[in-house]
Amino acid sequence: MIRALVLSCVVVSAIIAEESVPPVSTTPPNASSVPVPPSPSSAPGIRIWPDPRFTHWPPLVYRDEPRNVAFALPVKKGGAAGTIAWENQTPLPFTLPNDAESISGLLPLPSAIGDHRATVAIESGSFPIVLRLCDARESWPITGLNNGFPVDADGRAVVLQDRRRGTREERVWSFLDGGEVRPVGRAVLIGDALEALGSRVWDGLDADARPASDERYPHHAVLVALAAILGDGSGEPRQRLPRTIVWSPGNQTLHGGAWTAEEERVLGVIRTRCERIGVMPRLVLALPPLPVEAHLQARAAERRDLLLRSANRLGWVVVDLARAAGAPEEANRVAPQVFTAYPLAPAQERMRAVLREALTR
């Protein structure tokens, strides 16, 4: 088994002389006239509890599948009874434990498009939690991630509802959304820039580089970037949309141990949004290079196979960066038994060349 070593920097600490240094006053001028809020440290024993919240939700769902969302509740008072439920649904009862600081559970994800409010009632208190279920054809209100999951500008959970591809319903929608044209804006590179020792595969390419990453769910970060790129697509701006979109999934989700097959849904939801806008950029999937770690290679091969099959079915162009880079034992090698996460030059330059060709078409 090949063992990848981590290169670390040496931090040199300065030794501070022992001479006495006069204390620096932290009191601002005219402090007596400036109201100062109480410091949390001046009120020991008073704990600030988080509100009930959603912690995990599926960013992309199909309209015909049952899914759940996970919630967490703080345990301020052990033994307290409460309920949780979506609006106009039967409340689910619970009792807070005596030996925990929080509890979690699941609620079924609603199927109707719109805002959905769940209410947590604990003794005399009531706490609303909101989730937005959005039609993937319309504008995506995603502006960022919270703990790796998409949220809107107000911090509310966002779920995009798409349709399954290859079904009779999908063929009907494709007919109705027909008439797409290729936009003429600058090409976009989105996802993992595949950096190794300070050099990125994207460097020097004629495209708008939009790195999008997350330690566990990088494809969630891609949705955030795409929401800004695709916009509402109405009128003249749609012609300024990118003529080509290259998605580079990279291997971050493998290294984070959080890969699931749902990653491939990104391929379909991009087509869904573009079809509604009435444009169709050239869609390119940059299949990631293989990881050097032997224990990840079987999972990497499974993942690449799923992405390849989905891309071919959905009309994406596929660029195989693993084939361009070559075996990771050589492509990622810095020194004997020392490797980078992604290929180095000249393997990096070979990957850059195939991406450059894809961008010029």
Tokens of 291: 């990881």
| Residue pointed to by tokens 């006495």 | 20
Residues 202 and 148 grouped into a single domain: no
- Evaluate whether 187 touches 208 at the Cβ level (below 8 Å): yes
For residue 284, what are its two tokens? 């390119």
Task: Report if residue 345 sits inside a domain.
Answer: yes
In this prediction, residue 179 carries a pLDDT of 61
**Boundary residue ending a domain (121, 141, 162):** 162
Question: In Å, how far are 83, 267, 320 from 248, measured between CA atoms?
Answer: 44, 11, 11
113, 194: one domain: no
Helix axes 265-277, 294-313, angle to 10 degrees: 30
Structure-block tokens of residue 173:
């929608």
217 shares its domain with 271: yes
Claim to verify: residue 249 and residue 228 sit in the same structural domain: yes
Considering the domain architecture, whether residues 286 and 179 belong to the same structural domain is answered as yes
Last residue of a domain, one of 109, 131, 162: 162
Residues of the domain holding 116: 53-162
Query: What are the tokens at 26?
Result: 């932290």
Report yes or no on 15 lying in a domain: no
- Based on the structure, what is the number of domains in the chain? 2
134 and 178 belong to one structural domain: no
Long-range own/partner contacts, residues 141-145 (CB < 8 A, 24 or more apart): 141/227, 142/223, 142/224, 142/227, 143/224, 143/227, 144/224, 145/214, 145/217, 145/220, 145/221, 145/224
Among 288, 224, 278, 280, which Cα is nearest to 251's?
288
209 and 247: one domain? yes
223 with 155, same domain: the answer is no
Domain match, 64 and 172 both = no
What pLDDT does 47 receive?
Answer: 76
How many CA atoms lie less than 13 Å away from 109 in the CB half-sphere? 27
What single string gives the DSSP state of each residue in 142-191? --EEETTEEE-TTS-EEEEEE--TTSHHHHHHHHHT---B---BPPEEEE
Q: What is the dihedral of CA 183, 201, 220, 235, to 10 degrees?
A: -10
What gap in Å lies between CA 278 and CA 255, rounded to an integer? 37
Per-10-residue mean pLDDT of the chain, 361 residues long, equals 35 34 43 54 68 96 96 92 94 92 94 97 90 97 96 97 75 54 94 97 97 96 95 58 96 96 97 93 97 96 97 96 97 95 96 97 90
The pLDDT of residue 46: 73
Q: Give the global pTM.
A: 0.82
Shared domain for 322 and 174, answered yes or no, is yes
Which of 104, 139, 162 is at the close of a domain?
A: 162
Q: Taking the CB of residue 320, how many other CB atoms lie within 10 A of it?
A: 16
Report how far residue 321's alpha carbon sits from residue 89's, in angstroms, rounded to the nearest whole number. Answer: 50
Element spanning 117, H or E? strand 114-122
253 assigned to some structural domain: yes
Query: Is residue 32 in a domain?
Result: no
How many other C-beta atoms can be found within 10 angstroms of the C-beta atom of residue 69? 22
Do both 263 and 350 map to the same domain? yes
Quote the pLDDT of residue 221: 98
Question: 147 and 174 share a domain?
Answer: no
The DSSP 8-state label assigned to residue 201 in this structure reads T
